[in-house]
Amino acid sequence: MIAGHYEKMLQEKSVIRELSEFAAARGREIGYENVFDYSLGNPSVPVPDAVTETMIRMLRETDPMALHGYSPSLGIPSVRQRVAASLRQRFGLPYEEEDIFMTSGAAGALAHALRAVTVPGDEVLTFAPCFSEYFPYVNGTGAVLKLVPADTETFQIHFEALEEMLTEKVSAVLINTPNNPSGVVYSAETLINLAAVLNKKADAYGHDIYLISDEPYREIVFSGVEAPFVSSYYDNTLLCYSFSKSLSFPGERIGYVAVNPACADAAKIIQMCGQISRETGHNCPASIIQLAVAENLGITADLSVYETNKNIIYDELKTLGFPCTEPGGTFYIFPKALEEDARAFCEKARKYDLIMVPGDGFGCPGYFRMAYCIDTEKVRRSLPALRRFVREVYGVK
């Protein structure tokens, strides 16, 4: 009598897990340094020293009862205040403590935001290509996730498809900019048009439509690219943030939901998040981690390596003739495969020790994702393998 639903999830193959097992096995054969593993979105730079020093100082100097004590279910008040102040200062919206809910990373933020603004049976829309974990996040609420097809020219929004799919049953639209897997940053124009569609449909249907904005890559934006602050464009926005990438702190599970103060129910939605936690057993990120990030809101890890890697890979892919939209941020790139079946393409690439993820799992077949959060030196060493692969298999050049 174990729960069949979760038992069934076990049987679904995880492509990324399989790839990473292959990479590990191959690494044991030839040395992991010789496997060009572009499969995993793991930060490849260390946490800033300032965060480490903050934690050591707190462990040495803070009363352990205060440091390790229970956090209120919405997060530690001083932490919520600092997060609100930082957002106010950077983005000009009047966030206050009451608009902030501390979470275990973006996963926790999304799980709470989705539960707060959907009921079972609702539809949630997101855009291909998308992070594959959006499916369990939404399914877990009882709502249904539907995928708006990609605009593969620009990887901005396919507005015709959106308008058609945004029926009365849709209670929330989920976006991710800078985007995993495309690396694309939504332009101000895209966000203006999106807000217009959402406002028009909300008026027509006579109910709110919430915008859930998943922003773990907000701080990884490349030179010359403008990353507009999503919440400034639409009142009913729930920002879901994670420090995993900006601070290279993914295992410490820390992020937040920030509801746009212009949202009529902002404070109530945050309070509801605390009730959602009671049912999911989430109960706050670790106290010391909350306190440590709150003291280091102004800084990031040294993220410059990702832009260096992007430039090298993007140039090489263009030279080799891959159709490819240039990433504006993140540590991903999403080129078109050189044959229709991206699974077959990635399978063949493995023989050259190139580990890449087919776009099928992101809802965008025919493309593939490279996660270039690896050492630049390894990126450079991977280029001859990439050239050999496309020459020998696809006759390029």
- For residue 109, the one-letter residue type is A
Residue 117 as a binder of its own copies (CB under 8 A): the answer is yes
Residues belonging to the chain: 397
Report 207-266 residues binding its own copies (CB under 8 A).
207-210, 248-254, 265
Radius of gyration of the chain measured on its C-alpha atoms: 21
Cβ atoms of residues 251 and 286 within 8 Å: no
Q: How many residues bind its own copies (CB under 8 A)?
A: 77
Binder among 16, 50, 67, 165 for its own copies (CB under 8 A): 67
Residue 284 as a binder of its own copies (CB under 8 A): the answer is yes
Report 128-187 residues binding its own copies (CB under 8 A).
133, 136-137, 139-140, 171
Cβ atoms of residues 306 and 373 within 8 Å: yes
What's phi and psi for 117, nearest 5 deg?
-120, 15
Which pair of structure tokens corresponds to residue 369? 């994702």
Considering only 6-14, 84-92, 176-184, 357-365, which stretch makes contact with its own copies by CB under 8 A?
Answer: 6-14
Residue 7 as a binder of its own copies (CB under 8 A): the answer is yes
Residue 3 as a binder of its own copies (CB under 8 A): the answer is yes
Report the residue number, 60 or 397, with the smaller CB distance to its own copies.
Answer: 60
Report the residue number, 227 or 254, with the smaller CB distance to its own copies.
Answer: 254
Considering only 114-122, 158-166, 193-201, 308-316, which stretch makes contact with its own copies by CB under 8 A?
Answer: 114-122
Binder among 83, 93, 102, 109 for its own copies (CB under 8 A): 109
Report the alpha-carbon distance of residue 170 to residue 151 in Å, rounded: 21
Residue 363 as a binder of its own copies (CB under 8 A): the answer is no
Strand partners, 176: 214
Residue 42 as a binder of its own copies (CB under 8 A): the answer is yes
Residue 25 as a binder of its own copies (CB under 8 A): the answer is no
Report 327-356 residues binding its own copies (CB under 8 A).
none
Report the residue number, 1 or 153, with the smaller CB distance to its own copies.
Answer: 1
Considering only 60-68, 179-187, 308-316, 333-341, which stretch makes contact with its own copies by CB under 8 A?
Answer: 60-68
Which pair of structure tokens corresponds to residue 111? 């799980």
What own/partner pairs with CB < 8 Å and gap ≥ 24 does 339-342 have?
A: 339/394, 340/366, 341/365, 341/366, 342/366, 342/367, 342/368
State whether the Cα torsion 348-129-117-248 is positive or negative.
Answer: positive
Residue 70 as a binder of its own copies (CB under 8 A): the answer is yes
Shortest distance, position 289 Cβ to its own copies, whole Å: 5
Query: Which among 380, 358, 246, 248 is positioned nearest to 311, based on CA atoms?
Result: 380
Cβ atoms of residues 12 and 340 within 8 Å: no
Report the residue number, 52 or 308, with the smaller CB distance to its own copies.
Answer: 52
Binder among 30, 52, 89, 351 for its own copies (CB under 8 A): 52
The continuous run of DSSP H or E covering 191 comes out as: helix 188-205
Cβ atoms of residues 139 and 179 within 8 Å: no
Binder among 101, 108, 145, 314 for its own copies (CB under 8 A): 108
